[in-house]
């Protein structure tokens, strides 16, 4: 595991990353739909059963499984 991406990191702000998908403001992020989380995003790389894992977007940082960002993509 790696350092956790923080919401106030520049790359997090650039993609609208939220540590808790439930707190995403739909008015600001119209792409967001209830139920979307990093855990069910195509770009997420789970780390066993840990609460965080890798994301193809963020090199060297982990994201929370319950997080979300504007690049969310349905798992194929």
* Angstrom distances, CA of residue 22 to CA of 15, 30, 76: 16, 14, 23
Report the interface residues with ligand SF4, using CB under 6 A: 17, 38, 41, 43-44, 55, 57, 63, 67-69, 71-72
- Residue 21 DSSP class: G
Nearest distance in Å: CB 54, ligand SF4: 8
| CA-wise closest residue to 5 among 58, 73, 72 | 58
If the CB atoms of residues 4 and 71 are measured against ligand SF4, the closer one turns out to be 71
Nearest distance in Å: CB 27, ligand SF4: 19
């Amino acid at each position: 595991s790696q350092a956790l991406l923080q919401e106030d990191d520049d790359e997090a702000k650039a993609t609208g990353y939220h540590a808790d998908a439930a707190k995403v403001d739909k008015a600001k992020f119209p792409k967001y739909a209830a139920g979307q989380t990093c855990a069910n995003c195509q770009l997420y790389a789970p780390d066993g059963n840990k609460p965080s894992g890798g994301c193809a977007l963020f090199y060297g940082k982990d994201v929370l499984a319950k997080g979300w960002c504007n690049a969310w993509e349905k798992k194929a």
